[in-house]
Structure 1
Amino acid sequence: MRDFLYFLARLGIAIPLAILTWIITLFIIGINFFLTLVFALLAGLIPFYTIKFFQRRSVLQSYGLSAQEYKYIHNNLKEAQKKISRLQGKMFQIRSISAMRQLNDMIKLSKRIFNIVKKDPKRFYSSERFFFNHLDSAVELTDKYTMLVTQPIKNKEVLSSLEDTRKTLLDLNSSLEKELMNVLTNDINTLKIELDVAKKSLHREQLERSREGM
Structure 2
Amino acid sequence: MKNNISHWFASLISIPVAVVAGLFSMIAFDIHLVFDMMIAAGGFFAAYFPTQSISLNSQLEKMGITKSDYRYVRGQLTEAREKMKRLRQSYKNVRTLKDARLIYDINRLARTVYQTVENDPKQFFNIQQFFHSNLDSAVNTIEQYLFLYKMPGKTKEEKVKLHETRISLLELKRTIQSNLTSMNHNSYQALEVEKDFIKLNRKRNTSTMKLDNTLDRQKVKLKKKEKEPVYQNRGEDNERGK
Structure 1 residue 48 and structure 2 residue 48: aligned?
yes
Task: Measure how far apart 1:34 and its partner are.
Answer: 5.4
- Counterpart of 1:86 in structure 2 is 86
| Contact preservation (8 Å) 2:130, 2:179 | yes
Return the alpha-carbon distance in structure 2 between the equivalents of residues 107 and 32 of structure 1.
56
Report SS of the residue matched to 2:151: coil
Within 5 Å, give how 1:1-214 maps onto structure 2: 3-4=3-4, 6-31=6-31, 35-214=35-214
Task: Measure how far apart 1:116 and its partner are.
Answer: 0.8
For the pair shown, which has the larger CA radius of gyration, 1 or 2?
Answer: 2
- Moved beyond 6 Å, runs of 4+: none
Matched residue type, 2:87: L
Return the alpha-carbon distance in structure 2 between the equivalents of residues 26 and 204 of structure 1.
68
The RMSD of aligned alpha carbons is 2.0
Report SS of the residue matched to 1:90: helix
Return the alpha-carbon distance in structure 1 between the equivalents of residues 22 and 104 of structure 2.
55
Provide the aligned length of Structure 1 versus Structure 2. 214
TM-score by length of 2: 0.81
Runs (5+) with no aligned partner, structure 2: 215-242
Matched residue type, 2:142: T
Matched residue type, 1:141: T
Return the alpha-carbon distance in structure 1 between the equivalents of residues 37 and 94 of structure 2.
58
TM-score by length of 1: 0.91
Report SS of the residue matched to 1:153: coil
Task: Measure how far apart 1:13 and its partner are.
Answer: 3.4
Identical counterparts, % of pairs: 25
Report SS of the residue matched to 1:154: coil
Deviation by residue 1:124-144 (Cα, 9 ceiling, x = unmatched): 111011111211111121022
Going from structure 1 to structure 2, the CA distance change for 1:142 and 1:202 (only over 3 Å counts) comes to: same
Return the alpha-carbon distance in structure 1 between the equivalents of residues 138 and 78 of structure 2.
17
Deviation by residue 1:140-171 (Cα, 9 ceiling, x = unmatched): 21022012112122211221111011100011
Matched residue type, 2:169: L
Matched residue type, 1:71: R
